[in-house]
Amino acid sequence: MESEKSKILVFGGRGYLGKYMVKASVSMGHPTYVYVRPVDPSKLQLHHEFESMGVTIFQGELDEEEKMVAAVKQVDVVISTLAVPQHLEQFKIIHAIKQAPNIKRFVPSEFGNEVDRVSGLPPFQALMENKKRIRRATESAGIPFTYVSANSFAAYFVDFLLHPHQTLQHVSIYGNGDAKAVLNFEEDVAAYTIKASVDPRTCNRVIIYRPPGNIVSQLDLISSWEKKTGTTLQRTHISEQDIIKLSESLPFPENIPVAILHNIFIKGDQMSFELNANDLEASELYPEYKYTSVDKLLDIYLVNPPKPKLAAFA
């Protein structure tokens, strides 16, 4: 199927993950389309960059059903990278796809934990429940799908945990620091997703991104960074109980990132279940793709740290 070079449409293509997704699709030779809101001045440079890459740009709102259906009818694959506050807006994408029998695959916006196999503190659980609602609606509509469990974005969390842009001598550790997480570089998340979106083996399946070189604990990450920089960081542990209390006392949406930290770095949910013979794991499915390990990413940060990104939860 991949040799046919499917036409791929990305919703949220100007967002944090979306721009990586668009570039990965183009680099693999797929005719690439984006559906985005009418361009604002802050996104003009990226808009022009997409045009120079040959990307077809549809401008419209998610409420403009006719525009969405018209765009969806021109492609084979739909990938949504909409941010957390827009997750339930994907019902509108599903409704548009139902009117376009040409769609061979829908990849809804997940790119985190495998939501049908883990659970979290209430603020994070509510977010995962929304993702499950989109899964069930996709299945009920009979739309061919691939669900992507990409675990954690490596550049985002390396920046959050280590603050490499600053010359800090202090680092916070959530819990005891031993829980293993999976930190995947955003460019690799996009590349694996494009590959999976046109792969018959992943149709109506969940694919989990768990490359062995990206399984690390907070203590692993800190120790590696200390060795590479020749520094010793002062460590302050924030207890699980303190994190739970914060998740209960902070207002929405400030309580969500705290609950996410608990799930990933204290509870260790991303490595809480074993993969079995029926599971699809990205680095095993695509061994020819050379992913960026956490160790290699830290080397990049030593020379040219990627720009920090703030997550939006509301």
Give catalytic residues, as residue numbers.
131
Give the C-alpha separation, 90 to 69, whole Å. 13
Q: Please name the residues in contact with 163: beta carbons below 8 A apart, sequence gap of 6 or more.
A: 171
Give the C-alpha separation, 46 to 37, whole Å. 13
Contact 183, 151 (CB under 8 A): yes
Which contiguous run of DSSP H or E holds residue 170?
strand 170-174
Token output for 235:
């460590």
For 95, phi and psi rounded to 5 degrees? -60, -40
Q: Which amino acid is at 53?
A: M
Q: Which amino acid is at 18?
A: G
Is the bond into 253 cis (omega within 30 degrees of 0)? yes
Which contiguous run of DSSP H or E holds residue 227?
helix 218-229
